[in-house]
Amino acid sequence: MVKRQVKSANFSRKDKPVETSESTLVRLNKFIANAGVCSRRDADKLISQGQITINGEKAQELGVKVKPTDVVKYNGKILIPEKPVYILLNKPKDFITTLDDPEGRRTVMELINRKEGERIYPVGRLDRKTTGILLLTNDGDLAKKLSHPSSEVKKLYEVVLDKPISEEDFIRLESGVTLEDGFAKPDEMAIVSEDKRSIGVQIHMGRNRIVRRMFEAIGYEVIRLDRVMYADLTKKDLSRGKWRYLSEKELIKLKYLK
């Protein structure tokens, strides 16, 4: 009788077949949003339009889920999901709120130390002369939520005028003014200096240069404009031109903002 030696199998981790569990699957629209392309809602549109492929095949089913090994492409480029990044910047004057500028002007992106390949973008805009709180992220869902008018995100500005504001004009602006793009009314206003040139203005409208234009409508020029609060985020302990990551507490408040 010949005895055969039985060798125990010695599979390394890489030799074992990769099992795909439900927990490793990700909805395609979330995958696209995490790759920094757009929000989930807009991702659904891209899927419906046949602009997304999975392993070379067009994806048209909105609820489809993808595996970690799937190759997802948009416009021929492979999408790689990114870890969500949330940055708060205290914007200085003379920086524009864009990713790049064809005219060569300085942008807020120059102030952020990004990791290689990390893609983030500003949520909303502050004009070149305006300073203060600015949020940057690669979370398309959150960016769209905060930018949508229905969210009514509150913003608090400190406004410095070229001359003291009269009581009559204060009441007039407090009641609202009609601009070229419609009626505009602050949520709250307060005079914060003895010379009556510094005004605190809270507003939830997101229209272009809305605060400057409201004061221009009643005959005042805004000399300095600083956003001191955005969606309950403040620039406390954040000096001009500096940035930091959001705390977990701040992020939770933003995500559950109504």
* 11 and 51 Cβ atoms separated by less than 8 Å: no
CA-to-CA distance for 173 and 213, rounded, in angstroms? 11
CA-to-CA distance for 210 and 125, rounded, in angstroms? 12
* 173 and 189 Cβ atoms separated by less than 8 Å: yes
In this structure, how many other beta carbons lie within 10 angstroms of the beta carbon of residue 189? 19
The structure tokens listed for 59 are 């994806």
Backbone angles phi, psi at 215, to 5 degrees: -70, -35
* 74 and 54 Cβ atoms separated by less than 8 Å: no
In this structure, how many other beta carbons lie within 10 angstroms of the beta carbon of residue 45? 13
Place of tokens 């942008």: 107
Residue tagged active-site, from 100, 127, 181, 195: 127
15 is catalytic: no
* Residue 215: partners with Cβ closer than 8 Å, 6 or more residues away: 159, 161, 173, 221, 222
Catalytic residues: 127
